[in-house]
A and B are shown apart, each in its own frame.
Chain A
């Protein structure tokens, strides 16, 4: 059983986005974080101080741990932002403003 089967989901057509240039499949309605989790990715940011990996923590927009660069805009909360066809997602280093 997976979650899609559990609720008998019939998602709209899937689409492709990129994470650091690599193709990732996403489903309509999912957040950026959900698409990354589905692709087996659980970290997409390194911290400003120790450069440690981070991903989703609170899942509801409170903690800001899941910050990511989407279409060249850094510091987007991956757990809130809906994924859209053609999105260019990049892992975020530090504040996201250095590159």
Chain B
């Protein structure tokens, strides 16, 4: 069995699971490496087994799909085709003479190392939430929308009694309805975009919204939306749940400030004008002890960057087979562009089939996965259209006062960043970082990077982090002395 070609899949969310199943079913030996204690990733996160949930589907997404994937995984694990390594936090993938060494840290302490060697690697590392700063966003009680959802789904806890869900993006819908179903009084869902434009576009392909300057782009968007009836139905279900839980939806509104001393007590929101600015005089204060906030998602690309994979904008570049431009490295799911679980499943499936053919020395036949590829194209178009609907307010930086902490780790304020840009001439994220320490803390800029880029007036670029997570120095020092990996004289990276 060990002489079968070996694929290391990093990430056990929708993309990683689909890829593992597709590859294993075609004779590939798969090691599925994941930081979670159970498969599923963030999207299919379920209650911890110790909590004994008898009806986990109540808080779960796409239960039937998940059930099918979980059974498939269990079957392959039993048959020895897939080895599923849980609690493995991958910090680096290293190229070694046409093979790969995947370096991970074990368990919650993340101090003991483990290394997996494989002929091919699939990066299915998912994404994380983007949150733009505003005064008070560091107060306890302010959490990311996805964070509130992760705590609810995994540990069955909620942070308070009265919540406001705010920001922009489709994720706010399941978060608001999930919190409400779990007994939280959701006082308002505050969405800076106008989702009605989205629904209007799906119903009526002809009329142009007043501010659309490019009719062709609008029509493309409309077709992409109309081609996804399942997504429209999903949105309608959320809308019905919001009504049932009496959640007030406030579109074209934005967060101005979160209030409190030791903990969140209230938020102020305001209506947006047609230019995307908070309209003076429309401020409204809502008492709450929880604010779940998010402004979209960002892909995890650290491992791809350290491997030298090409990054397009913020996404790992892949070809039609989901191959990166580094031979032997595939990528699928949110890491190649935010697009939700169905797109991740499609990409993962195609990647798994491509790996299976390529590792067997064969040229894959794309006709075998033509239907999946077609749905991948449609879903990519759909999410590109969604991106144009859900965007943060055009002038969100005006809500960032000089006193607002922007870099949460290093406590760098908006004023310090503006001085670095205005007085010291910084014009990019890296220069701001060197001048202010914004992005040099624990999270390595993952939280503040979009905000720093916005305040510096530049586009966010990929961060090029050498290591994907903090690594104890002892582990780092020993990583080059792996006794399992004798290095030959022909190994150019062997020293």
Q: Using CB atoms and an 8 Å cutoff, list the residues of chain A in contact with chain B.
A: 1-4, 6-12, 27-31, 33-34, 37-38, 42-43, 47-50, 52-65, 67, 73, 76-77, 79-82
B111-149 interface with A by 8 A CB criterion: 128-129, 138-144, 146-149
Known interface pairs A37-B159, A64-B443; A11-B151 also in contact (CB < 8 Å): no
A sample of 5 cross-chain residue pairs with beta-carbon separation below 8 angstroms, ordered by A number, consists of: A3-B158, A11-B50, A58-B447, A76-B108, A79-B147
Q: Name the interface size band of chain B.
A: 35 or more
* A11 to B35 CA separation, bound complex (whole angstroms): 23
Q: Is the CB of B50 within 8 A of A59?
A: no
Q: Does B308 sit within 8 A of A, measured CB to CB?
A: no
Q: Is the CB of B411 within 8 A of A49?
A: yes
**A12: contacting residue among B47, B50, B59, CB under 8 A:** B50
* A2 to B181 CA separation, bound complex (whole angstroms): 8
Q: Is the CB of B51 within 8 A of A57?
A: no
Q: Is the CB of B151 within 8 A of A37?
A: yes
The residue on A at minimum CB distance from B148 is A59
* A6 to B149 CA separation, bound complex (whole angstroms): 14
Inter-chain contact total with CB atoms closer than 8 Å: 167
Q: Is the CB of B160 within 8 A of A42?
A: yes
Known interface pairs A3-B157, A56-B159; A9-B47 also in contact (CB < 8 Å): yes
Q: Which residues of B contact A76 (CB under 8 A)?
A: 108-109
Q: Which residues of B contact A33 (CB under 8 A)?
A: 151, 155
Q: Which residues of B contact A54 (CB under 8 A)?
A: 138, 140, 408
Q: Which residues of B contact A61 (CB under 8 A)?
A: 35
* A4 to B148 CA separation, bound complex (whole angstroms): 15
Q: Which residues of A contact B141 (CB under 8 A)?
A: 42, 55
B1-47 interface with A by 8 A CB criterion: 35, 37, 42, 47
Known interface pairs A37-B151, A49-B411; A64-B143 also in contact (CB < 8 Å): no
* A9 to B153 CA separation, bound complex (whole angstroms): 12
Q: Is the CB of A28 within 8 A of B50?
A: yes
